[in-house]
Amino acid sequence: MLTKCSECGHEVSTNAKKCPNCGAPIESREELEIENRAPDGKEGNGKKTQKEIWKEVLSENRWNSWQPKKICAECGYVGAPVSITPGTFLTEVALWCLFLLPGLIYSMWRLSGRHTGCPKCGGKMIALSSPRGRKLYEELEEK
């Protein structure tokens, strides 16, 4: 990846420590400024380095610390997954009250179909700290 030297404007690799033309220090790739696209709009005007954005994303305190942050592979939602149970509780109660065996079968089906997923679309969520999760997050930030 190439960037322009802040002193002389010469194109320099981001892996270089200093500009070969004038000797000015070059920021590393992680320190290059990228647009801050905060969804709440509070910090939308400023610029943050990629390192600062990742630190902020991985250390946000709006989720419980014991629950890892995840990203939905289908809709891009970032947050904590929720437990999703098929069927309805009302149907389960009605079957238990009226018919014992169908109520038992329905309850077993509901419990065996329970899974965690995205609260918005029900899709599979991937840990944000995994390589695939980071790639998905970076792709969403580019859009």
Residue 57 pLDDT: 60
Rounded to the nearest 10 degrees, the angle between the axes of helix 50-58 and helix 131-142 is: 120
Q: Tell whether 24 is covered by a domain.
A: yes
Tell whether the model's pLDDT for residue 61 goes beyond 50: no
Tell whether the model's pLDDT for residue 91 goes beyond 90: yes
Residue 27 pLDDT: 66
Residue 67 pLDDT: 59
Which pLDDT tens digit goes with each residue over 117-133? 999 988 889 888 888 88
Amino acid at 1: M
Domain range for 13: 1-31
Q: What is the DSSP letter of 8?
A: T
Q: Tell whether 4 is covered by a domain.
A: yes
Is residue 26 within 8 A of residue 18, CB to CB? The reply is yes
Average pLDDT of span 95-123: 91
Distance CA 72, CA 137 (A): 10
Torsion, Cα of 113, 115, 121, 126 (10° steps):
-140
Average pLDDT of span 60-87: 76
Q: Tell whether 81 is covered by a domain.
A: no
Which pLDDT tens digit goes with each residue over 18-55? 788 777 777 654 444 444 444 444 544 456 666 666 66
Strand partners, 70: 79, 127
Q: Tell whether 78 is covered by a domain.
A: no
Q: Tell whether 99 is covered by a domain.
A: no
Q: Tell whether 141 is covered by a domain.
A: no
Is residue 91 within 8 A of residue 110, CB to CB? The reply is no
Q: Tell whether 83 is covered by a domain.
A: no
Q: Which two tokens stand for residue 92?
A: 């389960």
Residue tagged 């005007």 (tokens) = 45
- 25-31 long-range Cβ contacts below 8 angstroms, 24+ apart: 27/3, 29/1
The number of domains in the chain is: 1
Within 10 angstroms of residue 113's Cβ, the number of other Cβ atoms is 11
Q: Tell whether 71 is covered by a domain.
A: no
Query: What's the whole-number average pLDDT of the chain?
Result: 76
Residue 37 pLDDT: 45
